[in-house]
Amino acid sequence: MSGYLFQGVTLGENEVSLRVQDGRIARISAAPLDPLPGEQIHQGGRITAPFAEPHVHLDAALLGARAPNKSGTLREGIANWSRLRAELTVEDVRARALETLEMYASHGTLRVRTHVDTGSLLAVETLIDLKTEALERGIELQVVAFPQEGILRAPGRQAQWEAAVALGCDAVGGIPHFERTAEEGWQSVRMAFDLAEKHGVMVDFHCDESDDPGARNLEVVCAETLDRGFAGRVVAGHCTALHSYPNPHAAKVIELVAESGVQVVANPLDNVVLQGRYDSYPRRRGLTRVDELWAAGALVGIGHDSVQDPWYRLGTADMLDPAYMLLHLGQLTSDAEMRRIFFCLSGDNHLAFGGPPELVEGARAQLLWWEDLDPVEILRARPVPLTLR
């Protein structure tokens, strides 16, 4: 008989012994368990649910070296990607996506939500088709129909976006701050909700990824969420303009985020590089107001965003990296704040997937074992966990 036995391990707030057999959690006991023949035994440490990645772009992953971003700006990244997009093939998209998913899994991430540019229906179909194979590898994959260059900026983009959602995407995406005018940005938000209602899917925006203190899309997303009863089904990624809002307006919008149940996903690796490019000194950090969102009771997630793509060449697919960057950029260095960041990866990052998998007897044994039980030490050292999937 083979399996795993974790003795004296911390699970939640309790010290337990946990046995895994045939891919399931066979036993959780407050007392030590007698080893069975052939079991791999691990002593002490911590068990958590696997990590989830709420925001990445698998269609563009591993392409950064093909089109280096010389200016480091968001706009050049989009321009470089639009050229690469025309060269995509099914084999290329599939191979890079699988390689990147395995990179995630090797670092303990077994749920991944990817945005896919609706400017390439080939990429959309390829990633939707990949969901079954990913699940066979123990990785749950969601696909967001993301109109990278907007839906109202040029003829044909809306039709591509709508066709992508109809192919079977899990969420409708949008990028309102990239539309031509503020009014068209707000219109695109409402169109995204209309399309999500039509297909019965979720909504996930790239929202106000800008240093512009006049960007006002996040509040429209929150208002639509409230008016349509979409709480728990909407994600707003980036939201970096919130960093630059005047404090009275920021307080109003943060209260609206908390009330609406919209989850804000911060992407600190990309945004510390992409934002502040129009600044001289001092330069903005390019991070939304995570501390104030938490204080208001809002939902926050942490995304890696780019894995060696035209926007950010240094991605590793290790979710501890954006967590580590977040605690530095946000000055979230109290013990409680660092613990919250660590547990976000195995907790609130799963909200788009319906919540983290339960680690209970009889459940599928998708879990991480950390040799060190201290979350702060894990963030400092960023070790690779033992991953069961």
- DSSP H helical ranges for the chain: 74-85, 90-106, 121-136, 157-166, 182-199, 217-228, 241-244, 247-260, 268-274, 290-295, 320-329, 335-346, 375-381
User: Distance between CA 182 and CA 327 in Å, rounded?
Assistant: 32
What gap in Å lies between CA 89 and CA 102, rounded to an integer?
20
Amino acid identity at 82 = S
Q: Locate tokens 């001289």: which residue?
A: 280
Contact 201, 158 (CB under 8 A): no
CA trace torsion 114, 119, 120, 121 (10° rounding): 90
Q: Give the burial string for 294-306 (b: 16+ CB within 10 Å, else e).
A: bebebbbbbbbbb
Compute the distance between CA of residue 364 and CA of residue 273 in angstroms, rounded to an integer. Answer: 39
Is 99 an active-site residue? no
**SS3 of the chain: helix, strand, coil, percent, to 5:** 40, 20, 40
- State the catalytic residue, choosing from 209, 219, 224, 337: 209
What residues are paired with 53 via a beta bridge? 112
Question: By C-alpha distance, which of 111, 76, 82, 100 is closest to 277?
Answer: 76
Contacts of 136 (CB under 8 A, 6+ apart): none
Tokens of 225: 């969420």
For residues 94 and 135, give the distance between their C-alpha atoms in angstroms, rounded to a whole number: 14
Residues tagged active-site: 209
